[in-house]
Structure formats: structure tokens, C-alpha cells
Amino acid sequence: MKKSPLPMAGLVASLLLILAPLHLSAGALPEFTTLVDKAGPAVVNISTRQSQSASSPAMPPGHGLPDLPEDSPLRDFFRRFFGEQGEDMMPDEDIQSRSLGSGFFISNDGYVMTNAHVVDGADEIIVRTNDRREFVATVIGADKRSDIALIKVDATALPTVKIGSAKDLKVGEWVLAIGSPFGFDHSATAGIVSAKGRSLPTENYVPFIQTDVAINPGNSGGPLFNLEGEVIGVNSQIYSRTGGFMGLSFAIPIDVAMDVADQLKRSGRVTRGWLGVLIQDVTRDLAETFKMPQPVGALVAQIVPDGPAATSGLLPGDVILDFNGTPILESSALPPLVGIHPVGKPAKVTVLRRGQTRVIELMIGELPEDGQEGRKGEPQEQPNKANRIGLVVEDLSDEDREQLGAGKAGVFVAKVEKGPAERAGIRVGDILLMIDNKDVESAARLREMLDAIEPGRSIAALIQRNEGRIFVAVRIPKD
């Protein structure tokens, strides 16, 4: 039987049905032109000048200007965007070091928010708007911990950004950055939120927003917008192996930044809450030792002497599960919550201790400017036979323990043989303070404690390494 051809009208209808999802997908992409038109005028370029000696390195080692011919167009390019830092100069001659960054007006009377590292050490700060006006700015205050600075220009009726909040920001949401990467004024780049609440090694008190927005040198201090045109972050850092963008950018949540700016404006300094504990993540192995169904919370490794927690009832080995009603899924979530808590006000923490939960109320103190410092004692050598987990340990004198801040407990790890302790990460030079929630008072006592633990069981061991303390999980070998 001969098939009749499909009518033209039917063919068109079929094609429309096939292409409809593609058309809807393309139409769903965000449109940023209106946002840039409205918010762009409030974003500024910031350049600084700082006198320094030419004999000191102007750029990091290996990052000077490349050796290019005088007539090379690339030579002018590098001079323009990296300054004169790589050129030959007479020793001890004073030069003007120039840095570029971004910022934005948060009030129409001239207050500008930017990064602290953009204006750090500057002798002069120049703020340039997108209509080419230039102002000399003064620093109201800067907070290195959050990398936020508040500066001011003498002007009125200035365009301002709309301040939003990062609290309701969702992973996958579209965001847009405006700044001056490499000196290219008012460049706009877009991407999505990759993660929230990131803790970086350089700062524990900022829950960074991670994005894949293209951020480069010069974007620092610029705003990060949501699709509503609200600032929800301040671009601060990138992760890079080359110095350029590699897909990982980090912004300070605007809620944190505005709190810092308000404090700088009010008093010129920033105060933060402080518990006075050193914490670490709960690993899967440690969760097993604490009989936890899953690894959550912040494990207290050390109580700072004379800190707020010293008289609160918190103990090393406690797992903080909740702070003032907010669950703590991982240790990095705790410092930002404590940091924004009012100093001198009480807070409640829920902890897990020996399999049972309890609520402890304590007064939040003020985070000190400088951290605690400690000294490590030098125990005398006392060769011993390795114990059940492969450690050769030595007793410490009372003077050694006092210098270490170890209290009445602690033995020195003199040798680590192959076995459970080595696999757990214990090293020579560590101070073993506690096992299975019990203080280690001597080498002999440690051997007795280990011998009493049933084979195959995993236990938590608290060690002190340099000035820090961490828990590790050690599995007792089967005899």
C-alpha cells in the first residue's frame, strides 16, 4: 500500500513541537542589560599610589615584566596594566606603586565599599566613576579579617547600589559582577552561584559565596548582583594557579560586609564574638568513635585558657551540634555564627558528650586581635618499647607541660612505627593528650589504657601539634 505524503501544515506543526523546548530554553536565559544600565553608574574604579623603594621587590618573584623588544606592542600592554614595576631603576630610588581595584557607592553622600587589600598601605586613593569624574578618597576604616574597607569621597547626589541579602541566595542562581579587571573599567561578567558558606584558609569568620563568575585582578572590591539588581556580595578572592581566572571566585556576603561597614563608620573598628575554642571537622572515623550515625558538628579540640569557654563547662572532645538554634553540619559553619553574635551576650550550644547531648549556656567574648602563642618543651630521651598502636612515647615534666599548656596530661611521641597510630596520622613530636575521652598521664598509664580496650574498636586520640590540637581516630588492632 502506498503511503501518502505528510501535509505541509502537519510538517510545520511537527517541527514547531520539536523546536519548542529549545526555544523556551533559550528564552529562559537571563537578560542583564537593564541591570547593568541601572547599577553600573554606582560602580567605581579605585586606583592607589604608594611610595616604596625600588630596591624592594615590586612584584612577586617570577612575576616581573617579560623581556620584550622595545618596539613590541606587548611591552606597552604590560606597562599599562602592570605599571612600571618591571623596569630598570636606580637602587633606593622612590617609585609610585599603583594598584587597581573596584568599589561601589553605598550612600549618595560618598561612602564607598571595597576590599581592605585594595587600599592597604595606600598614600593616595583615587575613585573614578563611569562618567570619568575623579575624587580623592579618605579611609574611614578597614577590617583585614573580612577584607572589607569603607572609604569616602567629598561629593553628594551620587548614584548608589541597591543592597540585598545573601541569606536567601540559592546554589545555581544567576549572578553578575561589575568591576575593572586589569584596568578595563566597568566590565560585566556573569555566572552562577557554585556554593555557599565556604570557609577559606585565610579567614574562618566569613562564609564566602563561591561562584564561577569570571573575576580577575582589578575586580577586587566590586559588587556581585542578583537578577533583581541587588548587591548580594563583594568580590574578594579567586582560586588560581596562574594568577588569572580558573572558574573559582569568592565573594563576601553583603550581610557580613554591611555589618562591618556600619561598625567601621560608627567606631572605626570591628568587634566579633568569640567562644575561645579550637575546633575541627568530625571525620567518618571519628564519628564512629563517638558513636554518631553520621559525621556532623564541630569537634572541640582545645579550650583556650582564660577564654569565654574556659569556665563554661565545654570540654575537649565535645561535638558542638547546634549554636543558638542553628544546626552545625560542619565545623566551618560555627565561626561565622559566633562572629556575628553580640559580644557580652549569652548563647546556647548543644553538644554531644560520651553519646549524650546536653545544652550549655555561655557568655560570648570578643575575638582578640592576636592569636595565642605557645612553646613546645624538649623532653629528654627515654627509649621505650612500642605500645599496642605502634607508638614509643616519653613522659613529660611538669615544666614541659606548663610550657605546652597541656595541664596535667600528655606524653611526647618519640617514635611512630608501622601500625594503627601511623595510619591515623600521628607523627613524631606530637603530644598525645587523651585517648577514649581519658587523659594520658604517663607512658605507663597509656599502655594500661590501650591494653584495656577491646580489639577492633576505633577510639579518638587527642594530640597537640605545634600550637594546635586535633583529634584522630585510631583503630585498636585485633590480637
Tell me the catalytic residues: 117, 147, 220
Q: Distance between CA atoms of 312 and 323, rounded to whole angstroms?
A: 14
What's the farthest any 2 CA atoms get from each other in the chain? 104
CA neighbor of 207 nearest in space, from 169, 245, 264, 175: 169
CA angle at 86 for the pair 85 and 88, rounded to the nearest 5°: 105
Question: What cell does 459 get?
Answer: 577510639
Place of cell 541566595: 169
Residues 6+ apart with CB under 8 A from 64: 58, 85, 86
Q: Distance between CA atoms of 250 and 210, rounded to whole angstroms?
A: 5
CA angle at 286 for the pair 435 and 277, rounded to the nearest 5°: 75
CA neighbor of 374 nearest in space, from 405, 352, 407: 405
Range 1-17 burial, b when 16+ CB lie within 10 A, else e: eeeeeeeeeeeeeeeee
Helix, strand, coil percent values for the chain (each to nearest 5):
20, 35, 45
Question: What cell does 365 get?
Answer: 567574648
Decide if 57 contacts 65 (C-beta within 8 A).
Answer: no
- DSSP class per residue in 68-114: --TT-HHHHHHHHHHTTTTS---TT-EEEEEEEEEEEESSTTSEEEE
Is residue 363 exposed (0-12), middle (13-18) or buried (19+ Cβ within 10 Å)? middle
Question: What cell does 170 get?
Answer: 540559592
Helices in 325-389 by DSSP H: which ranges?
A: 334-340
Decide if 213 contacts 176 (C-beta within 8 A).
Answer: yes
Residue type, 131: D
CA neighbor of 210 nearest in space, from 241, 246, 171, 244: 171
Q: Distance between CA atoms of 46 and 235, rounded to whole angstroms?
A: 14
CB 266: neighbour CB atoms within 10 A?
Answer: 10
